[in-house]
Amino acid sequence: MAKSTRDIKRRIKGISNIKQITNAMELVASVKMRKARARLERTRPYYNTVLNSIKDVLSYTKVSHPLLEEREVIKSLYIVVTADRGLAGGYNANVTRLVDSKFKNDKESISLITVGSKGRDFFRNRGYHIVKSFQGISEEPEFKDAREIGKIAVDLFLEGQVDEINIVYTRFISNISYDARIMKLLPVDDLKVEGEDKLKPIIDFEPSPEEVLDYLIPKYIESTIFGALIEASSSEQAARRVAMENATDNAEEMIEELNISYNRARQAAITMEISEIVAGADALK
């Protein structure tokens, strides 16, 4: 029985140590999440401004552009945003599952740009074609990272190596809610605004509408990718905070149950000792 109580105490000590780690990770994730949310609130207005500017150019002029060209989709490019670390619940699995469930039987029709080592390892082990992988930027992405990813994607599209560009990321909704989704970047029908009957102002574009779009559309791609990276960063920290909070709560429940088991075992040992003493005293009479 003494051995049993020692084992229980050893388990309680081990779980208590794990609880301290998960609690610390929860606090760290909370701080990082607040920081990522602040960046997210600053990023969204920039993206909306660029998007509205492109729509204005397209609505005031009838201009074609290579990056808006509709093609028969034979080869797709997917930018997949995951984390570099685990311990975030189903955060990484939700993103990778979206792509794998769609292309696991048709891997030849897709190329990937992966952000985060978790996505890279998942798709590499399953034989997907990875054009480029980025590590170490998932938690604190910078605009230069989005610019580099966007340039690779746009070049592949202009060279005809891919017929569409999509990004797979986790959109941040709230501290406890986030949604893995696929967003189409190119070609985007939403950018093509149909002409309206109302009178439009006369606007001159310098040097030309085509050159304005040459500048704006890559900016739209870059800002959208950057926005997705920030959304994913916020979602990752939120998911990790929730996962660590749940782990801490589970550790507390296990410690409570083990304490009950320890007290019962201790009480049983004491009762047995008392019974042995009483039996010994009766034998001496």
Same domain, 179 and 269: no
pLDDT along the chain (285 residues), means of 10: 74 91 90 86 78 71 75 91 91 93 90 95 94 92 92 92 93 87 82 52 68 81 89 91 91 90 80 73 65
36 is a domain residue: no
Same domain, 224 and 127: yes
SS (H, E, C) the chain: CHHHHHHHHHHHHHHHHHHHHHHHHHHHHHHHHHHHHHHHHHHHHHHHHHHHHHHHHHHHCCCCCHHHCCCCCCCEEEEEECCCCCCCCCHHHHHHHHHHHHHCCCHHHEEEEEECHHHHHHHHHCCCEEEEEECCCCCCCCHHHHHHHHHHHHHHHHCCCCCEEEEEEEEEEECCEEEEEEEEEECCHHHCCCCCCCCCCCCCCCCCHHHHHHHHHHHHHHHHHHHHHHHHHHHHHHHHHHHHHHHHHHHHHHHHHHHHHHHHHHHHHHHHHHHHHHHHHHHHC
| Distance (Å, whole) CA 128 – CA 163 | 18
Same domain, 16 and 60: no
Structural domain that includes position 219:
47-193+203-243
Same domain, 110 and 176: yes
pTM of the model: 0.82
What is residue 66's predicted lDDT score, i.e. its pLDDT?
A: 81
139 is a domain residue: yes
What is residue 197's predicted lDDT score, i.e. its pLDDT?
A: 47
Same domain, 276 and 222: no
Number of independent structural domains in the chain: 2
What is residue 193's predicted lDDT score, i.e. its pLDDT?
A: 53
198 is a domain residue: no
Q: Is the dihedral of CA 202, 205, 206, 207 positive or negative?
A: negative
| Distance (Å, whole) CA 242 – CA 51 | 33
What is residue 202's predicted lDDT score, i.e. its pLDDT?
A: 60
What is residue 189's predicted lDDT score, i.e. its pLDDT?
A: 64
8 A C-beta contact, residue 149 and residue 58: no
| Distance (Å, whole) CA 215 – CA 135 | 28
Q: Which CATH number fits the domain that encloses residue 176?
A: 3.40.1380.10
Q: Which CATH number fits the domain that encloses residue 271?
A: 1.10.287.80
Same domain, 87 and 136: yes
What is residue 131's predicted lDDT score, i.e. its pLDDT?
A: 95
What is residue 192's predicted lDDT score, i.e. its pLDDT?
A: 57
216 is a domain residue: yes
Same domain, 235 and 261: no
Closest CA to 74 of 116, 29, 111, 37: 111
Same domain, 56 and 137: yes
